[in-house]
Amino acid sequence: MRVVYRGDFDGSVCAAMLFELGKCDDLVQYHPQDVQDGVVEITDQDIICNLPYHPDCNMWFDHHSSEIGQIDFIAIFAGTARIAPSAARLVYEYFKDDLASVDKYEQLVADADLVDGGFITVHQLAKPQGSTLLALLLDPRTGLGLYHDFAISNFQWSIQIPELLTRHSVEEILTMPDTQERVRRYFEIEDQAREFYAENSYLDGNVIVSDVRGKAVPAANRFLIYTLDGFTGGNISVRISDGKQGQFYTIAVAHSIVTSTSQVDAGLLCKDYRGGGHERAAACQVSIEDSDNVLKEIIEACKA
């Protein structure tokens, strides 16, 4: 069987459990938009985790409101899809009785719930360690994949993580040379990232807006913006940035971890623009021509 997943911490924990169960012979990472656009070849030998549904898959596990909220949501399939803090939670509950290391994965799943669901605290963010730190390094939104001076590429590093999680603790993985390179880079550029986002963001009512189009963006965790002076009163963020090879822009919407009062379902909002995600964090890709209008519409929706 092949596990098709998003290469963040949530997807990696999903894949690790499937490795442990002997249900994973190969791994492949995709962006959700790739699955939505039909550019991904899926067969009945594939288990999809933390990505949109494909009718040809063997099993599917997903927790995103943008998928579950579809009018034509399929009701009969192998696996589980429902609103939950993480996809890992769904894989764990489905296979719990077959896992040999229940306690180990119970903790990993709890950590995936915390970070993927956006329930991380400011204290944990200030001094990230353990699973929180590994999750921030793995998160594509952090941006470590933009750096090409590591010993191995970010893809080569991240795709090793699921199997490593079956044989090592998170603390052991964090001490490995390839991970240590990323840990050092993450902390080295933190001050630069704070300055960058302070200069390229503004508060529009309750919405924290970051416009980093056409800029060299330093790596930074996606929660950093909520802790900056002047932005702690915002309850939701909207960030527009360059897409792959400058072919489009990406707009990301997420709830603040400091002022958690937004009632906007980010996943359903982004689904209106052919994107998706879950209630507290989502994204969509928009054409360069339409980007200004879409950005305004999304900001207004986040004020509602």
CA 175, CA 144: separation in Å to the nearest integer? 18
CB 24 within 8 A of CB 41: no
How many degrees, rounded to 5, is the angle at CA 42 between CA 38 and CA 47? Answer: 125
Q: What is the pLDDT of residues 118-156, one digit of tens each?
A: 888 999 998 999 999 999 999 998 999 989 999 999 999
Give me the tens of pLDDT residue by residue for the chain, a chain 304 residues long. Answer: 999 999 999 999 999 999 999 999 999 999 888 888 888 899 999 999 999 899 899 999 999 877 776 655 666 789 999 989 999 999 999 999 998 888 889 999 999 999 988 888 999 998 999 999 999 999 998 999 989 999 999 999 999 999 999 999 999 999 999 999 999 999 999 999 999 999 999 999 999 999 999 999 999 999 999 999 999 999 999 999 998 878 899 999 999 999 999 999 999 999 999 998 889 999 999 999 999 999 999 999 999 7
Angle between helices 177-188 and 130-138 (to 10 degrees): 80
> Can you name the CATH fold of 191-303?
Diaminopimelate Epimerase; Chain A, domain 1 (3.10.310)
**Six-digit token pair at 286?**
């928009």
pLDDT at 73: 60
CA 153, CA 49: separation in Å to the nearest integer? 23
Q: What residue ranges of the chain are covered by domains with CATH 3.10.310.30? A: 191-303
CA 288, CA 299: separation in Å to the nearest integer? 17
Instruction: Give this prediction's pTM.
Output: 0.88
Cα separations in angstroms, 164 against 20, 73, 81, 172, 176: 11, 34, 26, 9, 11
